[in-house]
Amino acid sequence: MRTLNLKVIRSLLGLKIQTTGIALLVACGSGLLISAWSSYDSLRSAKDKTYRTLRFGEIFAEVKSAPMALEPRLRNISGVNEVDLRLVEDGLLHLPGVPSGRFLSLPPTGTAGLDRIHLSSGDLPVPNPVPEAVVHQGFAGAHGLRPGDLLEANLGGKRWKFRISGIGLSPDTVYAIGPGAPLPDDLRFGVFWMPRTDLERMSGKGKTFRRLSVTVSEDTSIHRIREEIDRLLAPYGTAGSYLRKDQISDRLLENEIVEQRTLAILFPTVFLSIAALQTQSALARLIGLERLQIATLRALGYPHREIQLHYLKLVLLMVSGGSAMGVVLGSGVGRLMASSYRSFFRFPEVTFSTGRGAIALGIAASLLPALFAALSALRAVRSMTPAEALRPAPPPTFRIAGIERILTLSIRNRMIARNLLARPLRLIWNTLGMACAWILLIMSLSWTDILSNLIDERFRRLSRETLSMNLNSPARESESRAWSRLPGVLQWETQRILPVKMRFAHHSRDLILTGVPSGAELERYSLSPSVVPLEGLLLSRHFKEAWGIRVGDPVEFDPLTEGSGRFTLSVSGFVQDSLGLSARIPKHLLHGALGEESTFNRILLRIDPAFEEGILSKLQNSPSGSGILSKRATLAGFERTLGTLIRISTVILVSFAWVMTFSLLISSLRISTSERHREIATIRVLGLDFDQAFGLLLSETGIQWILAMPIGILSGNLITRAALNSMHAEEYDFTVVISRRTYGLALLVIGGSFLIGALRMRSISKRVALPDALKMEE
């Protein structure tokens, strides 16, 4: 069969454009799957590796203050492997914005114990007259800190100077989140680690601890161990022990990773399915064009099995070229995605490796539809006798098109209409294929729309303040007027915020309960006029969906930082929070629950931009304020982290979608041109010039693209919404919006690809001499 193999190679070379088109489709589909899945895999193994090497605890608990003498009793709990007790002290830093800092003690040997530190630069601190500390790398990055820098902080009622010895992070602070804060905020909150002796001296807390972390041996009852821990810590004020999965950094991280997994499944599935469908349709048409050659081979005495094998080889070579490109492309793009994770997820190390499973899946998903296409196309040829296959395919049954009864069409337009309507199945199939290009583009481009909408909604239309400041302790409401009198203040509002542990049934979660004054305008919670009014407790709708809370249900709140006791509030409604989770309540009701007078500990200011710098520096010098934040800085931070990650993903997706659209279009145009060479030639013989004749073919394809537009827009919209709505994580509950810009860009990409493809086909078609074209079989 050597000559038949030669034919495979020659056919492949002769079908350069079609082969390239199909190979690119396959490469994009499998490449996206391989890159997305491998980078997700790398992320997951980076997390596991970080947790393992830095010895992340398995059970945690916080207490108001407990003596270190408890350590032997905790260690003796059966099943407990290691116990790590840390002194924790919160304080304010003398840095722009007066951020708050959480200072944790380190075990005597900095490298021992649980939740160890990974240093990205500098050294671990050693006891010193000028204390040393390792600063969390997120905070160091946001404030431009380096080892050797001197900082000042208010700790234990005194102002202390300390030196940064190193920059790093620990497994419990991959995301560093302030008490009750919804999302990490590196500008406003940082974590510091110091030798215990230094922190004891600075905080004046002596041999006590506030945070416990333990690991347990396998096959022990976690439940029993937690009960023991809770019993031992109960006298010292604890909200109870919790597992690693409820640890705030882990939970946030896990949410992010799950979201990456959804992305790694969702987008490649849609892309790969479209690639598979298109490969199948292109191959079926290609084999259809080979009908006469297949019939000749049969007439020469080749059995069907060998012909089948011959075409399978051809298809396999076409597709496996694409698969190989997909593996290379997938690894390259995956590496790029993994490196963007590195800056977002802050793992000490994200080692990218192309997953074997992803490669196998990518290759199988591209090969199987191709083989199926080849076999089904060959089956169609087999069902004919060789004599039948040797004759040109009978023309379809042409009819007077319905449109001709309504409109008077020119002869050429009649030809176009009848040609399209004579093969309704082909028309539908081609139109659906073209609609796929819209789905790909809308799905990829909509990411930036979602991001812009999120920014616009969250940072412009809901939060309308310019600056905000938290107070170190609640102040009387009357004191707020002093702020309103500052020059340049256009509007001001106060809030009473309370970091709490919220509990419902077996669920619990740290968050901030915000007491909102009536008629609040600077920080709104919804843009919809139909939303429930703020007359009682309003929660993020995540709690309704994930915790099963209903209106009227009682929810328990345990204040985390203030001494007041536990209280219960009943839920009056739910709102959509695009970023982070919230609990809101009318301010007076919160005062009532806390049994206090009208106070505030957060102030929001909308100011004249010309006065922003002046007011900011006044706030920073105020002794009572902390966590001062300008919205511009928050927005910049958001853009820098999540924005960058989304933009990189969008660029990758859009590039894949663009290449796929182009290859889909060019291979479909190329095949149409081959199918119609003879007809175009005949029309030219009758006296039309080349462009008029080619125009007929192009008009038919063009009409299919126009028909595909509404179908593509509609299905692109539906699929994008369904896909993105399915990936809501706790912290992100964004609205899926698709802007006119997205539709416009998609139209531009499709129109541009069509134009390039048409010009290319025109030059190919024009090169065929008229007599040769006339002799070509259809």
The C-alpha atoms of residue 351 and residue 369 are separated, in whole angstroms, by 33
Q: What sign does the CA torsion over 485, 488, 490, 495 have? A: negative
Residues 256-295 that bind another protein (CB under 8 A): 292-293, 295
Query: Would you call 745 helix, strand, or coil by DSSP?
Result: helix
Q: Which one of 69, 157, 223, 300 is in contact with another protein (CB under 8 A)?
A: 300
Min dist. Cβ of residue 16 to another protein (A): 12
- Whole-angstrom CA distances from 751 to 698, 706, 775 are 13, 10, 33
- Which of 17, 133 has the CB closer to another protein? 17
- Which of 397, 528 has the CB closer to another protein? 397
- Which of 4, 325 has the CB closer to another protein? 4
Any contact of residue 769 with another protein (CB under 8 A)? no
Using alpha carbons only, give the angle 44, 49, 54 rounded to the nearest 5 degrees: 130
Q: Which one of 129, 301, 529, 552 is in contact with another protein (CB under 8 A)?
A: 301
Min dist. Cβ of residue 720 to another protein (A): 43
Look at residues 160, 163, 179, 140 and name the one whose alpha carbon lies nearest to residue 92.
Answer: 160
Look at residues 169, 172, 177, 346 and name the one whose alpha carbon lies nearest to residue 242.
Answer: 172
Residues 395-414 that bind another protein (CB under 8 A): 397
The C-alpha atoms of residue 751 and residue 755 are separated, in whole angstroms, by 6
Q: Which listed range, 60-68, 155-163, 389-397, 549-557, lies at the site for another protein (CB under 8 A)?
A: 389-397
- Which of 294, 549 has the CB closer to another protein? 294
Any contact of residue 298 with another protein (CB under 8 A)? yes
Min dist. Cβ of residue 296 to another protein (A): 4
- Which of 382, 524 has the CB closer to another protein? 382
Give the number of residues in contact with another protein, rule: CB under 8 A. Answer: 32
Q: Which listed range, 200-208, 219-227, 302-310, 527-535, lies at the site for another protein (CB under 8 A)?
A: 302-310
Look at residues 446, 373, 341, 299 and name the one whose alpha carbon lies nearest to residue 742.
Answer: 446
Min dist. Cβ of residue 393 to another protein (A): 12
- Which of 301, 623 has the CB closer to another protein? 301
- Which of 14, 565 has the CB closer to another protein? 14
Q: Which one of 128, 262, 296, 620 is in contact with another protein (CB under 8 A)?
A: 296
The C-alpha atoms of residue 722 and residue 699 are separated, in whole angstroms, by 34
The C-alpha atoms of residue 722 and residue 714 are separated, in whole angstroms, by 12
Both tokens assigned to 335? 């590496």
Min dist. Cβ of residue 365 to another protein (A): 30
The C-alpha atoms of residue 345 and residue 350 are separated, in whole angstroms, by 9
Q: Which one of 11, 50, 165, 444 is in contact with another protein (CB under 8 A)?
A: 11
Q: Are 507 and 548 in contact (CB under 8 A)?
A: no
- Which of 194, 286 has the CB closer to another protein? 286
Any contact of residue 302 with another protein (CB under 8 A)? yes
Q: Which one of 108, 206, 237, 303 is in contact with another protein (CB under 8 A)?
A: 303
Q: How many CA atoms lie within 13 A of 484 on its CB side?
A: 9
Min dist. Cβ of residue 269 to another protein (A): 37
- Which of 227, 388 has the CB closer to another protein? 388
Residues 369-388 that bind another protein (CB under 8 A): 385-388
Q: Which one of 234, 299, 400, 505 is in contact with another protein (CB under 8 A)?
A: 299
Q: Which listed range, 7-15, 263-271, 607-615, 657-665, lies at the site for another protein (CB under 8 A)?
A: 7-15
Residues 304-323 that bind another protein (CB under 8 A): 304
- Show the 3-state SS of 80-94: EEEEEEECEEEEEEC
Look at residues 260, 716, 722 and name the one whose alpha carbon lies nearest to residue 444.
Answer: 716
- Whole-angstrom CA distances from 177 to 119, 188, 455, 472, 584 are 19, 9, 21, 18, 20
Using alpha carbons only, give the angle 307, 309, 314 rounded to the nearest 5 degrees: 95
Dihedral, 47, 52, 58, 63 alpha carbons, nearest 10: -90
- Which of 6, 126 has the CB closer to another protein? 6
Q: Which one of 4, 409, 532, 546 is in contact with another protein (CB under 8 A)?
A: 4
Min dist. Cβ of residue 765 to another protein (A): 17
Any contact of residue 682 with another protein (CB under 8 A)? no
Min dist. Cβ of residue 420 to another protein (A): 19
Look at residues 401, 406, 390 and name the one whose alpha carbon lies nearest to residue 424.
Answer: 401
The C-alpha atoms of residue 228 and residue 774 are separated, in whole angstroms, by 91
Min dist. Cβ of residue 406 to another protein (A): 26
Q: Sheet containing 59-67: which strands, arranged edge to edge?
A: 80-86, 208-216, 59-67, 242-243
- Which of 9, 222 has the CB closer to another protein? 9
The C-alpha atoms of residue 561 and residue 659 are separated, in whole angstroms, by 54
Any contact of residue 204 with another protein (CB under 8 A)? no
Any contact of residue 423 with another protein (CB under 8 A)? no
Query: Would you call 577 helix, strand, or coil by DSSP?
Result: coil
Q: Are 453 and 737 in contact (CB under 8 A)?
A: yes
- Which of 8, 707 has the CB closer to another protein? 8
Any contact of residue 394 with another protein (CB under 8 A)? yes
Structure letter (DSSP) for residue 586: E
- Whole-angstrom CA distances from 131 to 87, 148, 195, 285, 513 are 15, 12, 8, 76, 35
Min dist. Cβ of residue 302 to another protein (A): 7
Interface contacts to another protein, rule CB under 8 A = 1-4, 6-7, 10-11, 13-14, 292-293, 295-304, 385-388, 390, 394, 397, 772, 775, 777
